[in-house]
Amino acid sequence: GSVRPERWLRIFRKGGSLAPDSWLKVRRNNHIDLFVNGRLREKNIISHIPSTRIVESYLYGQIHYNDLDDDQDRFTSSREGVVPDDPKFKQLLKTLDEDIMSKIINEWDIFRCENRDDGDPENDRISKKRRKSQELYNEITGDYTQFGKGTTNAQKDKVLLWINSLKDDASFNYESYGECFVAENLMRTYIEDQKLELCRRVKEDAEKWKKAEQNNLRAGHLNIPIRSNSSDLSYASMDALTLNIEKPGDLSLNQDAKEFKPIRDALAHTSRLTEEAKIKLTSVFNNIKFRLIKLLQEKP
């Protein structure tokens, strides 16, 4: 009598990944059919639940629900369908939509991500930025998973384990570095646009890092230009840039930038951050970001 979601549907896996049904040997059309006491009563029951989720193209199978076969005639005159407004059928659809499909959609997304495939872009269990970062990581590390014929399974497993162990940290770093890149360069553009006089700290940063860059260029025997913009601003760190933006006596943004800098520097040097550092970086940067957005909107 009761609806048991866990007994109805499964996500099919082949070769360690969640494959579309066209890749599987056992297949039907992209349908989930309803059977009542062994008889097909409704083809493609999912069509009664309007949705455009990509997951649905990966689902097929059968639902067996015998409670529809009772003293009340719930089937159409052709006997090939269920009366759409039948209360018990509507309750079945409601359970399928709200309980079962949501569970399957979430599990499908988790399994896809675990297998280095793109998941469900509409699933909000992780942020859109983090999802894109994970997809980028999968693309970048794909070259490292193209093993030669002589590579043993043990070595493949070891390399894949290493790659997978980096995924969460790498995804966080991609997103965080992107945020930092945009924020710092918007600050530089804002200072140039407002024609603000460069403060002493910016000039000191520029002098220090220009010398370091020249030494590195000589050591590397490089004669090509490195930066597309070699102005003093391009060498200034965020905490120096905030000094050039904020008014004297109002240095709260600069204080945030000081807290941000040591973690930002570790991030820029491809270090893996502790969970405490990730939390601190996110918290401090969000404050910087919101203040910068407000500043840019006040003075376009």
User: Tens digits of per-residue pLDDT, 89-123?
Assistant: 889 889 888 888 888 888 888 888 888 888 888 88
Query: Sheet containing 39-42: which strands, arranged edge to edge?
Result: 39-42, 32-36, 61-64
Q: Give the C-alpha separation, 285 to 283, whole Å.
A: 6
Residues comprising the chain, all counted? 300
Query: pLDDT of 4-50, one tens digit each?
Result: 444 444 444 433 345 544 444 434 456 788 888 888 888 888 888 87
Residue 263 scores a pLDDT above 70: yes
CB atoms within 10 A of CB 222: 10
pLDDT confidence of residue 20: 47
pLDDT confidence of residue 119: 85
Burial of 219 (0-12, 13-18, 19+ CB in 10 A): exposed
Q: Which residue has the tokens 């675990």?
A: 114
210, 235 Cβ separation under 8 angstroms: yes
> What residues are paired with 35 via a beta bridge?
40, 64
pTM, two decimals, is: 0.74
Q: What is the 3-state secondary structure (H, E, C) of the chain?
A: CCCCHHHCCCCCCECCECCCHHHCCCCCCCCEEEEECCEEEECCHHHHCCCCCHHHHHCCEEEECHHHCCCCCCECCCCCCECCCCHHHHHHHHHHHHHHHHHHHHHHHHHHHHCCCCCCCCCCCCCHHHHHHHHHHHHHHHHHHCCCCCCCHHHHHHHHHHHHHHHHHHHHHHHHHHHHHHHHHHHHHHHHHCCCCCCHHHHHHHHHHHHHHHHHHHHCCCCCCCCCCCCHHHHCCHHHHHHHHCCCCCCHHHHHHHHHHHHHHHHHCCCCCCHHHHHHHHHHHHHHHHHHHHHHHHCC
pLDDT confidence of residue 198: 95
Band (191; pLDDT cuts 50, 70, 90): very high
Angle at 119 between CA 117 and CA 122, to 5 degrees: 160
Q: Give the C-alpha separation, 199 to 254, whole Å.
A: 13
> What six digits make up the tokens of 227?
């930066």
Query: pLDDT of 40-80, one tens digit each?
Result: 888 888 888 877 676 767 777 888 988 888 878 778 766 56
Quote the mean pLDDT of the chain.
85
Q: Give the C-alpha separation, 161 to 154, whole Å.
A: 11
